[in-house]
Amino acid sequence: MSTTELELDITGMTCASCANRIERKLTKLDGVTAEVNYATEKAHVSFPEATTTDDLIRTVEAAGYGARLPEPANDDRERHLRTLRVRLIWSIALSVPVVLLAMIPPLQFPGWQWVSLVLAVPVVVWGGSGFHRAAWTNLRHGAATMDTLVSVGTIAALGWSLYALFFGTAGMIGMTHGWSLLATHSDGSGSIYLEAAAGVTTFILAGRYIEARSKLRAGDALRALLDLGAKDVAVRAPDGSEERIPAERLRVGDEFVVRPGERIATDGVVIEGASAVDQSMVTGEPVPAEVGEGDAVVGGTIGVSGRLVVRATRVGSDTQLAQMAHLVEQAQASKAGAQRLADRVAGIFVPIVFVLAAATLATWLLLGQPAASAFTAAVAVLIIACPCALGLATPLALMIGTTRGAEQGILIKDAEALERAREIDTIVLDKTGTVTSGRMSVGEILPAEGEDAAEVLRIAAAVESASEHPIARAIVEAAGAGIPAVSDFRSLEGLGAQGIVDGRAVVIGRAQLLDQWAASLDDDLRARFDAAQGTGATVVAVAWDGRARGAIAVSDTIKPTSAEAVRELRALGLEPVLVTGDAEDPARTVAAEVGIERVIAGVLPADKVDVVRGLQQEGRSVAMVGDGVNDAAALAQADLGMAMGTGADVAIEASDLTLVRGDLRVAADAVRLSRRTLGIIRGNLFWAFAYNVAAIPLAALGLLAPMLAGAAMAFSSVFVVLNSLRLKRFH
């Protein structure tokens, strides 16, 4: 049965238990799975054909919340933030006098309690209206959330105060004898809690405002990333004339002009001109890269110097920029295992708190304590216990960490990748394109006796022209123009390739491949073949019509940053292992230069999976870094797959992390960022749990006044926000 996936924007959530409740409602539908993220306010839903989008939206609405398909505008969240700010400012202005009058006896004048009542009622009723509205909505659906706790607690405090003022002993004294000072009696009938009702509302409003502002700002970098594309573009017509059109009208194959200072409208290949291009928005690399004819460019980057003519190769949602944004959003919608536990706790937390509050009230009364003291302790329990911090612990840190990673050229696929990154102790590095530049060049042509070197290169290039392998590209570039056509091309994984050129059956690749074709190298060619390999070059043999005709030595340059990257990986406690399909000698030459001790050479693509699996069977937790099609299976097998963004799409799809910049040091940065983000998440969860474990008993024992409980509860959410924001400073 086929399924469809989509995201819904969710409105009306106020805590983790709201998200948990919506998730439960959605998953009760046949064949539907859902993950609801409180921080991003989105639901990622997978559903069968029998279920419609309207069914999903109605289910969310039936639970008392709002749902809609995603919209690019962010006006609703901005408007909600402005509303919260206005309520908070007025609540602070009205609450401060109430708190000061209650806490500082010298300020208390005759009738001060009635002034406090006039000031406190608007705060509780209007300032806290969002809590009361949500609590009523949930009550109608037979549910309870954090808003229920706050609403019941503040209304109870206000209600008790009204009773004390109008019907209690002290209240009667005040009404009978005019503006007399309210006295608190031992039976508690004269106690008022206006400062608690107003203070708690204001503190929680402040926490809610900071939380909403942080959630909104945490996504700013991602939204900025999506806005980086050019708005219009100069398209070149076949006659050389130019026309400016909206960028969204570009099509694959269109040629467009990029002048200095302009953004490149979409992904493409330079067909004319040269320029330095600022690619920092996708790679995190501050130094502009020089590009010329034949080089690929990424939409959203900026041409710094010369004029370019670019042929569009990808448009719309297929561009690298769009795919980066999609990966970041996908990661932000995911949940770590620890967060799933927190969500389950939050789902049952509120009912437990009501039971604890009722038990607190009953216990105090049974022990013969004053009703006011029993009431105070029960209200404090209601207010102190809030699952908000639990709900924010993972998603907010994940939002900031993944967005910061995108700014640095690191794309994290999901939260589980972060958890795996913490455990890895071994990192497998593919050689070509990862440790080395992958930009190979022909160094030497070794013709067999009686053969022409140019002809060997020409025939080899004809076969390799159908391949995307770096060695193949180097041979084709060396041959230049005049390469004949190839037919019946076939790639032989890890061994080479074959095809028909000018009516001749040609094979090119390893010496073993020629042995299989009964076209082995003669002694002289074998000696020169081995000597070239000994210099660190990769050597491929060429044969046709049943005879070895020569060999071509291709060399690759080690990236200047690879040695430093290996040192950084070792400093993180990882053992690097170099894996390559190349022969032993060139592989060890490269490994020695960058500081890698363990080398596994002559590995076929299928064997890379076996190498990773073998390391895992040794008890190691393995990360794999690669960039080619032949790395995809090993990337998927590894505990943590890291694909170079300069590589093949299938490798990127199979990986857990994508390193946009072709610099191995980014792999070390990715591990550091993953570990830092997961550390922040675990710290958030620890303090969120520890806060409730410590605070609820204090409140139940009467050691925490309701107003202080409200302040502590708001601070728990603020702490999670501030702790998560530390990730913005990651470099």
Find, among 663, 617, 613, 665, the residue nearest to 636 by Cα: 613
104: exposed, middle or buried (C-beta count within 10 Å: 0-12, 13-18, 19+)? Answer: exposed
Q: Rounded distance, CA 637 to CA 611, Å?
A: 10
The DSSP H or E segment spanning 559 is none
User: Any idea which residue has 């006098």 for tokens?
Assistant: 97
Q: Are strands 622-626 and 640-644 parallel, antiparallel or unpaired?
A: parallel
**Amino acid of residue 427:** I
Judged by phi (left if over 0) then psi (alpha if -120 to 50, else beta), residue 503 lies in left
Asked whether 19 and 82 are in contact (CB, 8 A), the reply is no
Which residue type, as a one-letter code, is found at position 216?
L
> Which structure tokens are listed for 352?
């437990």
Strand 275-278 versus strand 302-303 pairing type: antiparallel
Separation between Cα atoms, residue 234 and residue 232, nearest integer Å: 7
| Residue 426 bridge partners (DSSP) | 575, 622
Residue 210's alpha-carbon distances to 67, 82, 348, 372, 523, in angstroms, are 24, 12, 25, 33, 77
Q: Which of 267, 430, 627, 656 is the catalytic position?
A: 430
Three-class secondary structure of residue 319 per DSSP: coil
Please report the sign of the dihedral spanned by the C-alpha atoms of residue 117, residue 118, residue 122, residue 123: negative
CA torsion 318-322-323-327 (nearest 10°) is -150
Residues sharing a CB contact under 8 Å with residue 104, sequence separation 6 or more, in sequence order: none
Closest listed residue to residue 478, CA positions, set 500, 497, 452, 453: 453
Residue with tokens 């020409």: 458
Angle among Cα 41, 42, 46 to the nearest 5 degrees reads: 160
**CB-CB contact of 363 with 327 (8 Å):** no
430 labelled catalytic: yes
* Tokens found for residue 305: 């110097």
Q: Which residue has the tokens 């700010």?
A: 85
**C-alpha 311: how far from its chain's center?**
31
709: nearest Cα among 718, 721, 722, 698: 698
Q: Which two tokens stand for residue 189?
A: 């009938």
Give CA 511 to chain center in angstroms: 45
Active-site residues: which are they? 430
